[in-house]
Structure 1
Amino acid sequence: MSIRHGLLALLESGPRHGYQLRAGFEEATGATWPLNIGQVYTTLTRLERDGLVEALPENDGGQRPYRITERGRDEVALWFRTAVGRSERPRDELAIKLSLALVTPGVNVTEVVQRQRTATVRTMQEYTRLKRAEADLPSLLVVDALIFQAEAEIRWLDHCEATILRRRRTTSSKDRSTDSSATTAEGLVP
């Protein structure tokens, strides 16, 4: 999700200053995506530069609220109408880690998979506990998504482990058949 679009969506309900936007974002995402306040203000500065929000005069507390512009409304409406693409996926650190573990001498890939599976199961259990405590629908949906992603990661890790073991058996079977063919051929030579 784009923080840019998340802040614009929050501003649809009325002007807010940075701390209110951060709190609203974290509340809407079930506190699963904490934002740094500096990130919020940097994003607001870019949104203002791009004409999507405008800064209002500081309030009595010295905080500067922002409001969405018509152009910002168009931008957030387009974002909601556009499906999230999967073709430009972010780098998957776990997939890269396992790929490199396969080609790095001295790394036991099976142990790497098992450690990750254990960590992911613990994370999924924490999400499940968090889900029981959630009452509002936006937070509940975010936590559900995290649970489903953890479940998918566990299935993928199971698949990786099975594939690695199957490849090792196939490779060692080929190596044994090559060795036994060489032995048989050697035995036939007078």
Structure 2
Amino acid sequence: MVAMSAPFVLLGLLAGGPRHGYDLKHAYDRTLPRAKPLGFGQVYATLGRLERDGLVSQSGQEREGGPDRTTFALTEDGRRKLAGWLAAVEEPAPHVASALLAKVVVALLAAGPEQALAYLAAQRRAHVDRLRELTRAKSQPGATVGDVIAADYAITHLDADLTWLAATIERVATPHPGEPS
């Protein structure tokens, strides 16, 4: 399984031409607006590792009214590595790892169906609120195609969670034979 990672995103951003770390950080944040933000320290540490591994090289220095900024360019090895990553199909996750699932199961075990139903109802409201927020964000003036596809991705996952929440509420609310009531 190949994981999405900041190094590959930085390689992808460098595929368009040389850039310095400050520009890469801001391009990352603009390109993946709903992803966890990338810190400047992480950008420079990642560039150092990519350079060490021969995937990027220093291509010059820029000064834009501030300190010197080293620009980095993608090497041929970097282009090959990026192409391989882009060609690799992401396998579906083999395990379910979700705080949402864990909380529902623990609520059922520790507090019983009433507490689990209260949690499920509160979580459903939070999901619906987030769904509305993302739907509004897609229609904001200046929303880029990256903003819209990131929102669509998040909305699809929220929709799946909402479907699961509805089914789980029904299952928890309906007593099952053989289970203590």
TM-score category of the 2 structures, normalised to the smaller one: 0.7 to 0.9
Could you report, residue by residue, the CA deviation over 1:82-130 in whole angstroms, capped at 9, with x for unpaired residues?
1111135683222222222222247811111111111111111110111
Distance in 1 (alpha carbons) for counterparts of 2:15 and 2:105: 44
With normalisation by structure 2, the TM-score equals 0.84
Could you report, residue by residue, the CA deviation over 1:61-80 in whole angstroms, capped at 9, with x for unpaired residues?
31122111111111111111
Larger Rg: 1
Identity value in percent: 31
Could you report, residue by residue, the CA deviation over 1:149-170 in whole angstroms, capped at 9, with x for unpaired residues?
111111111111112223xx12
With normalisation by structure 1, the TM-score equals 0.80
Counterpart residue number, 2:158: 150
Which has the larger share of strand? 2
Runs of 4+ in 1 over 6 A off after TM superposition: none
Q: CA RMSD in A?
A: 2.3
Counterpart pick for 1:113 among 113, 117, 120:
120
Distance in 1 (alpha carbons) for counterparts of 2:29 and 2:96: 22
Q: Does 1:48 align with 2:51?
A: yes
SS of residue matched to 1:55: strand
Q: Which amino acid in structure 2 is aligned with residue 55 of structure 1? A: Q
Query: Structure 2: where are the runs of 5+ without partners?
Result: none
Counterpart pick for 2:110 among 86, 104, 111:
104
Q: Which amino acid in structure 1 is aligned with residue 48 of structure 2? A: T
Counterpart residue number, 2:10: 7
Q: Which amino acid in structure 2 is aligned with residue 47 of structure 1? A: L
Counterpart residue number, 1:182: none
Deviates more, 1:55-64 or 1:69-78: 55-64
Counterpart residue number, 1:58: 61
Summarize the Cα distance change of 1:175–1:155 in structure 2 as closer, same or farther, 3 Å threshold.
closer
Query: Structure 1: where are the runs of 5+ without partners?
Result: 177-190
Q: Does 1:138 align with 2:140?
A: no
Per the TM alignment, residue 46 of structure 1 is displaced from its structure 2 partner at its CA by 2.0
Which has the larger share of helix? 1
Q: Does 1:127 align with 2:130?
A: no
Task: Count residues with an aligned counterpart.
Answer: 172
Q: Which amino acid in structure 2 is aligned with residue 112 of structure 1? A: Y
Q: Does 1:160 align with 2:168?
A: yes
